[in-house]
Chain A
């Protein structure tokens, strides 16, 4: 089990399109992936859960992955959050 800390770097926050991008990527991995905010934990492969976070710009989130490909998964997710999902 591994965890990383990320920050929403998109000006418009985690809107639906972005949530879609995120679950598209998390769904590629077999690991169980969770997003944790203020102790609340949601499934990172469910678009409604991710969108339901209503995570605005600058929001800090914890991502936890557990499974065979947890390392690759977190590496990719870190990159996505750092680059603002290449949305700018």
Chain B
């Protein structure tokens, strides 16, 4: 389930990133006509000069050296017209780089349309990169899943399965063996590019419920090295009650995938029955996954060996048959 598209108010954006981006507010209010709705930015140089087609007013407008020089080259009358053109459509905010000064007429127009104008001392290109990074993170697709995420040998394993199947016990056993808990029960997930990252819910982080014991805090109980804030999810391990009638994978030649936020993640279905040591199996899953990342596939190499062996046997037979000595 993907939540509806997020919007970032300029007020929240300013509060969250003021220090990091070195922002100052040049107008009187942070409450503008639009919210920030995406991570793309727009340089309004063409709109300033009068070409209004494809003026992407819903994006953050970045004003830098080129735009400032252009405005300064105008007669006062033209300058006012240029400013009016920029504000002829509703804007979320304007960001000025390199601590540049804009003509007063421009700031006055922004004030009149109550569009917040922010300014940073940063250079334009690095600023845009930093800004995009921050906004990409904010607008990344997100969801929540029921499951437990553990970093096993550096591989993020997401355990899923019906409640009561023993996910928490597996997690605890893995932690005991030196692996690291990311989140138990509720995993918050976000996607950046093809990479799916999981983390714990803000205040539930590293708490666990164990039937019969109650709530424990993994960080307090096992120490800081037993936990991790976030981890890329690389394999989904679905735990299923053992069913002799089910076709369990026996060779692993075909890989199974599941989708999280539209990204393909390898999935394994592991049967569970009393006395089964899922911890060791989980470690093996992580190690085997790493081998596969390095291009080593045990099932394929065994299959190749079988084929080679059958071929060589055929050759030997032919040799012996033709051997009339």
Contacts and interface: CB of A to CB of B under 8 A. Distances in A.
Interface in A1-40: 12-17, 19-20, 23-24, 27-28
Nearest to B245: A28
A12 B308 CA distance: 11
A47 B250 contact: yes
Interface in B294-320: 299, 302-303, 306-307, 309-310, 313-314
A4 B250 CA distance: 25
Given A16-B299, A27-B244, A54 B310 contact: yes
B53 interface: no
Contact of A54 (B250, B251, B253, B306): B306
B247 interface: yes
Interface in B236-261: 244-245, 247, 250-251, 253
A42 interface: no
Interface of B: 244-245, 247, 250-251, 253, 299, 302-303, 306-307, 309-310, 313-314
A20 B306 CA distance: 13
Contact of A17 (B245, B247, B251, B309): B251
The 5 closest A-B pairs by CB, nearest first: A16-B303, A20-B251, A56-B310, A20-B250, A13-B310
27 contacts: A12-B310, A13-B306, A13-B310, A14-B306, A15-B303, A15-B306, A15-B307, A16-B253, A16-B303, A16-B306, A17-B251, A17-B253, A19-B251, A20-B250, A20-B251, A23-B250, A27-B244, A28-B245, A47-B250, A47-B251, A51-B302, A51-B306, A54-B306, A54-B309, A54-B310, A55-B310, A56-B310
Contact of A56 (B245, B302, B314): B314
The secondary-structure label for the interface of chain B is helix
Contacts of B253: 16-17, 20
Interface of A: 12-17, 19-20, 23-24, 27-28, 47, 51, 54-56
Given A13-B310, A54-B310, A56-B314, A24 B303 contact: no
Contacts of A51: 302, 306
Contacts of A13: 306-307, 310
A47 B251 CA distance: 8
Given A28-B245, A54-B309, 11 more contacts: A13-B310, A14-B306, A15-B307, A16-B303, A17-B253, A20-B253, A47-B251, A54-B306, A54-B313, A56-B310, A56-B313
B228 to A, nearest CB: 36
B289 to A, nearest CB: 20
Contacts of A55: 310
Contact of A24 (B247, B306, B307, B310): B247
Contacts of B245: 28
A20 B303 CA distance: 11
Contacts of A54: 306, 309-310, 313
A27 B243 CA distance: 12
A12 B304 CA distance: 11
A49 B19 CA distance: 65
B84 to A, nearest CB: 71
A20 B251 CA distance: 6
Contacts of B313: 54, 56
Contacts of B247: 24
B225 to A, nearest CB: 38
Contacts of A17: 251, 253, 303
B297 to A, nearest CB: 11
A47 B249 CA distance: 11
B308 to A, nearest CB: 10
A80 to B, nearest CB: 14
A12 B307 contact: yes
A35 B250 CA distance: 18
Nearest to B254: A17
